[in-house]
Amino acid sequence: MTQRRYAVLGLMFLAISVNYMDRVNFSVSMPAIRQAFGFSLQEISQILFVWGIIYALFNFPGGWLVDRLGLRYGLVLTLGWWSLFTILTPFARTLAGWFAVRGTMGAGEAPIWSLNAKSAASLAGPGRRSMFFTWAGSGQYMGPFIGNALAGVILVKCGWQWTFIAFGIAGLALLPVWFFIVRDRPMFGSREASESTDWPGIRNTVFSRTGLGMLLVCITFGYILWTFVNWVPSYMFYTFHISVLKSALWASAGAGFGLVGFILSGPINDWLVARFDRLTARRIGAAIPMLCAALCILASVATAGAGFIAATAVLIGLAQMLMNMTVGAWAVNVIDISPNKASTGFVYGVYNGALNIMGACSALIVGALAARFNFPVAFGSELFFMLVFVAAMLFIVDRASYTRLIARSAPADSPA
């Protein structure tokens, strides 16, 4: 890849990092927000649900918008939008106000993964696509790794309101750098410039057996991912009765494990693609780490019950690392089966939208389980979704339809 393409990868990494910093500030601030407004745990879950469902639904038009605007203007619009509403978050004064400001912020954040998918499809061929997608995407865990600890410190020193204001300003500061460096064409080449959205190909992809199997993979992953992103600080705070800052630091440590998983995922899955046929490589890369993650969650239920803080935090962190090691397999698979590059943003938006609809629902489910039982039990619910994820990747995604989809998309793949 050229030097400019690596610069785009680095900036995409920073944009995704900021995107997730602007989510975990709410997670870290939950106890303070509950105290300030008198919200119950169920009402906090409702705020998360509203954000999540709007974020999920806007993935569908967001993917189409990314295909229309391209990377340069697409990210400027969306990053500016969500950063502005992050800054406005502390000015909400009622539950309805929280619904409005967090929901509007979620709408702006929605296209971020379609932007990453489009950049990976355009800037890297199949042999390096996992690395490009996951290295940029590792911002999903660099953001919480930095954001959990930083939000905890800001909250203690300045108040919870400044966790939103400071992180929103960071997003706005990135805008001119992105606009100056990133170009859509001719950087992506004349082939993509001549392509248009392949609507029949999209329909064939989504309704194929492989497409439906990948839909189930995304839905189950959404529950697993958002349980971690939304609830780890509260898990530590309410289970072990430690301070908000200590809870945030433990959550930050877990996010560090998750970051390692993202970074490893790309090279490992590209290595698998070089040594096996592509479907076998994707299955190995998705199933084995997720089964190991399930074992970590099962063990964490036991350590939490015994009161072992460090062991529980490490196990939850390892589960996040192993979960993220699957991304270079299943998420890149969605890019692989897209009919052409001009359709990548929309196709990824469809699957990411489904993922985040389940993520939004997980806020209600996990919150209800935590209120009825406790957080270790609530996190234990991930086991069911982990097993279904593995079953879908191994037994529903089938070789016949997968081969047809790959053959259709192959002419759009560059050898880079």
CATH of the domain at 365: 1.20.1250.20
pLDDT band at 69 (very low <50, low <70, confident <90, very high): confident
User: What pLDDT is attached to residue 60?
Assistant: 84
Assess if residue 192 is contained within a domain.
no
- Separation of alpha carbons 296 and 312, rounded Å: 9
In this model, does residue 415 exceed pLDDT 70?
Answer: no
In this model, does residue 137 exceed pLDDT 50?
Answer: yes
Going by C-beta distance under 8 Å and a sequence separation of 6 or more, which residues neighbour residue 155? 28, 29, 32, 162, 163, 244, 245, 248
User: What pLDDT is attached to residue 345?
Assistant: 80
- Separation of alpha carbons 114 and 98, rounded Å: 26
User: What pLDDT is attached to residue 260?
Assistant: 93
Q: Where is average pLDDT lowest: 18-22, 65-69, 376-380?
A: 65-69
User: What pLDDT is attached to residue 195?
Assistant: 67
How many beta carbons lie within 10 A of that of residue 176, not counting itself?
10
Assess if residue 334 is contained within a domain.
yes
pLDDT band at 122 (very low <50, low <70, confident <90, very high): confident
How many beta carbons lie within 10 A of that of residue 372, not counting itself?
9
User: What is the average pLDDT across 242-261?
Assistant: 92
Domains in the chain, number: 1
How many beta carbons lie within 10 A of that of residue 306, not counting itself?
8
- Separation of alpha carbons 195 and 186, rounded Å: 13
User: What is the average pLDDT across 266-284?
Assistant: 93
Going by C-beta distance under 8 Å and a sequence separation of 6 or more, which residues neighbour residue 280? none
- Separation of alpha carbons 130 and 271, rounded Å: 10
- Separation of alpha carbons 386 and 293, rounded Å: 8
Cis peptide bond upstream of 144, omega within 30: no
- Token pair belonging to 180: 């100056």
Going by C-beta distance under 8 Å and a sequence separation of 6 or more, which residues neighbour residue 180? none
Assess if residue 193 is contained within a domain.
no
User: What pLDDT is attached to residue 281?
Assistant: 95
In this model, does residue 230 exceed pLDDT 90?
Answer: no
pLDDT band at 187 (very low <50, low <70, confident <90, very high): very low
User: What pLDDT is attached to residue 318?
Assistant: 98
In this model, does residue 189 exceed pLDDT 50?
Answer: no
Q: Are 150 and 170 in contact (CB under 8 A)?
A: no
- Kindly report the average pLDDT of the chain as a whole number: 90
Assess if residue 189 is contained within a domain.
no
Assess if residue 188 is contained within a domain.
no
Task: Report the 3 state secondary structure along the chain.
Answer: CCHHHHHHHHHHHHHHHHHHHHHHHHHHHHHHHHHHHCCCHHHHHHHHHHHHHHHHHCHHHHHHHHHHHHHHHHHHHHHHHHHHHHHHHHHCCCHHHHHHHHHHHHHHHCCHHHHHHHHHHHHCCCCCHHHHHHHHHCHHHHHHHHHHHHHHHHHHHHCCHHHHHHHHHHHHHHHHHHHHHCCCCCCCCHHHHHCCCCHHHHHHHHHCHHHHHHHHHHHHHHHHHHHHHHHHHHHHHHHHCCCHHHHHHHHHHHHHHHHHHHHHHHHHHHHHHHHCCHHHHHHHHHHHHHHHHHHHHHHHHHHHHCCCHHHHHHHHHHHHHHHHHCHHHHHHHHHHCCCCHHHHHHHHHHHHHHHHHHHHHHHHHHHHHHHHCCHHHHHHCHHHHHHHHHHHHHHHCCHHHHHHHHHHHHHHCCCC
User: What is the average pLDDT across 19-34?
Assistant: 91
Going by C-beta distance under 8 Å and a sequence separation of 6 or more, which residues neighbour residue 199? none
Q: What pTM value is reported for the model?
A: 0.81
Amino acid identity of 277?
A: D
Assess if residue 91 is contained within a domain.
yes
User: What pLDDT is attached to residue 414?
Assistant: 47
Domain holding 178, by residue range, is: 3-183+198-410
User: What is the average pLDDT across 296-307?
Assistant: 96
Q: What are phi and psi of 36, to 5 degrees?
A: -70, -35
User: What is the average pLDDT across 9-19?
Assistant: 93
User: What pLDDT is attached to residue 196?
Assistant: 79
Longest Cα separation, the chain: 61
Amino acid identity of 362?
A: S
Assess if residue 370 is contained within a domain.
yes
